[in-house]
Structure 1
Amino acid sequence: MTNTTATTMGTPVITSNELLKHWQGHRDLSRRVLAAFPEKDLYEFSIGGMRTYNVLAGEMLGLASAGINGITTGKWETTPELDYFNESAKITTKTQFLEAWDEVTEQIAVLWPQIPADRFQQTEAAFGQYPNTIINTILYLIDNEIHHRGQGYVYLRALGIEPPAFWDRF
């Protein structure tokens, strides 16, 4: 048996472009989950004390927008209307959510190519409070979205709505 550890340990498993495609695939699926919600239930339906889906979607929007901005520029902020932590900046309709989702998806597509290759391994306190490498922050943003999308699946099924296939990300 040959020792391949030395050759595989330093070999990248995924490229920056492949990671972007992976993230955007999740964003596409999350958008379809958001679109499946009836307007009223988006703002009112909850199970077991979980937050309503509009709040979860607002968090996903704010984190993705401020996240890609911070990853690219070091400024972990977004526009006021997408700032999840700003109570006065809430999106009030499903149409506005979907438009904002598309804006953030485009923001990611535009800013991503501006990330220098060495930036992914740099350590920085995301949002001024969570020190980690940039690559791990990106993985967190994706994981957070998957987690909240899963809550959306539970809500949709409880409402009698068949959610999009979880595996159909493209």
Structure 2
Amino acid sequence: MAMTKEEFMERWEGNRRLTIRTVEAFAEEPLFNYTPTEGLRPFSAMMIEILIIEKAYMQGIALDHWEFTNPYENINTKEELLKACEEVREETRTLWPSISPEHFSTVKDDPFFGSGEQRHIDRFLYALENENHHRGQGFIYLRMLGIEPPAFYLR
């Protein structure tokens, strides 16, 4: 049984609600500065990556405007990060209706990561999987800081 476009968006929205609760669970200082070991990034940097990928894919797929930039590099407060999260989601919600279900199967060379041809649905799945991966890292960071992560099953 295939998932509809609307079901996919609801799944993505549920994941984002959980990711936002993960951001909210952090105190501001560790959100931007804590790493459990050298070579890892703070959770805020992972969140910014999530936003960049979502914005780039949505604009590319919906508008055929393929640009991978970081308009969030100056974010340095939790409030600013949460505001950026909402702005990116709002743009996604606005652009989503313009993407036809048929457009999901469109194949195009990957303009960002050099991974060859991909269907647009695979780009969306990558964005969702990337978010899940980094949220899992955020959960581990929270536990290492002695903070209980948000309930995973509440979306």
TM-score, structure 2 as length reference: 0.91
Aligned to 2:124: 138
Give how far 1:124 is off.
1.5
Structure 2 residue corresponding to 1:72, chosen from 38, 52, 62 = 62
Aligned to 1:108: 92
Structure 1 unaligned blocks of 5 or more: 1-11, 83-88
Structure 2 residue corresponding to 1:46, chosen from 24, 35, 38 = 35
Structure 2 residue corresponding to 1:147, chosen from 133, 143, 146 = 133
The yes-or-no answer on 1:35 pairing with 2:24 is yes
C-alpha offsets along residues 96-137 of structure 1, whole Å, 9 cap, x if unaligned? 000000111111111001002221001113444343100111
Give SS of 1:81's match: coil
**What is the identity, as a one-letter code, of the residue corresponding to 1:31?**
I
Query: Matched residues in 2 for 1:40 and 1:164: separation?
Result: 19
Q: How many residues align?
A: 152
Query: Matched residues in 1 for 2:69 and 2:91: separation?
Result: 11
Query: Matched residues in 2 for 1:94 and 1:22: separation?
Result: 25
The yes-or-no answer on 1:63 pairing with 2:53 is yes
Give how far 1:78 is off.
6.5
Percent identity reads 37
Query: Matched residues in 2 for 1:17 and 1:77: separation?
Result: 26
Query: Matched residues in 1 for 2:132 and 2:139: separation?
Result: 10
Query: Matched residues in 1 for 2:62 and 2:135: separation?
Result: 25
Give how far 1:81 is off.
2.1
Question: Would the alpha carbon gap of residues 127 and 96 (structure 1) be closer, same or farther in structure 2, given more than 3 Å must change?
Answer: farther
Structure 2 unaligned blocks of 5 or more: none
The yes-or-no answer on 1:121 pairing with 2:105 is yes
TM-score, structure 1 as length reference: 0.83
Following TM superposition, the consecutive aligned residue runs of length 4 or more in structure 1 with deviations greater than 4 angstroms are: none
Query: Matched residues in 2 for 1:167 and 1:125: separation?
Result: 35
**What is the identity, as a one-letter code, of the residue corresponding to 2:58?**
I
